[in-house]
């Protein structure tokens, strides 16, 4: 069942009127606020080092951004992906923009590792069973990401 099957609800989500992020003011698990977006990172992740970059104003599609907003968002994406690769030792970063259930522009950043559960293919977050972090590991990584963004 998709939210697309209810055109009125979908329109309210896309307009921002019923957007849960806009109603809360900020997304969950924010670890940093950059020029264009919030950086979120939490214990419940499909992959170690997973981050989500949530655009700070309500927008649905990348083409909804002004050229300056698009440039700022890309700059922030590059900053975070560079830091994630450095801190995690990822062999590749994966970038995903969907918004099929939450149409407030956000980009998922997945560090990929040799031998990860999805090696050679796309990530399926629904197939991840159990925590990907040992106790304290996520918090330590958050602090390192924050420090790198502040530096």
Binding site for Zn ion (CB under 5 A): 16, 19, 21-22, 58, 104
What DSSP designation does 102 have? S
Taking residue 82's Cβ as centre, other Cβ atoms within 10 Å add up to 12
- Nearest-approach distance from CB 104 to Zn ion, in angstroms: 3
Cβ-closest residue to Zn ion? 19
- Nearest-approach distance from CB 13 to Zn ion, in angstroms: 8
Tokens for 75? 């700059």
User: What contacts 143, CB < 8 A, 6 or more positions away?
Assistant: none
Give residue for tokens 């958050």: 142
- Nearest-approach distance from CB 11 to Zn ion, in angstroms: 13
- Nearest-approach distance from CB 50 to Zn ion, in angstroms: 21
Q: Are 82 and 111 in contact (CB under 8 A)?
A: no
Nearer to Zn ion, 16 or 42 (CB): 16
Nearer to Zn ion, 17 or 35 (CB): 17
Nearer to Zn ion, 54 or 93 (CB): 54
DSSP 123-134: --GGG--S-SS-
Nearer to Zn ion, 82 or 98 (CB): 98
Tokens for 17? 């009127």
């Amino acid at each position: 069942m998709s939210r697309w099957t209810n055109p009125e609800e979908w329109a309210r989500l896309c307009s921002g009127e019923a957007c849960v992020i806009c109603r809360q003011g900020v997304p969950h698990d924010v670890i940093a606020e950059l020029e264009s977006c919030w950086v979120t990172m939490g214990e419940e992740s499909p992959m170690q080092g997973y981050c989500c970059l949530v655009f700070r104003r309500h927008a649905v599609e990348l083409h909804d951004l002004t050229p300056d907003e698009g440039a700022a968002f890309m700059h922030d994406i590059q900053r975070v992906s560079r830091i994630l690769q450095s801190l995690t030792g990822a062999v590749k970063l994966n970038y995903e923009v969907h918004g099929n259930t939450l149409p407030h522009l956000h980009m998922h950043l997945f560090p990929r590792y040799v031998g990860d559960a999805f090696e050679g293919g796309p990530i399926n977050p629904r197939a991840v069973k159990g925590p990907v972090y040992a106790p304290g590991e996520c918090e330590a990584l958050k602090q390192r990401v924050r420090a790198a963004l502040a530096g």
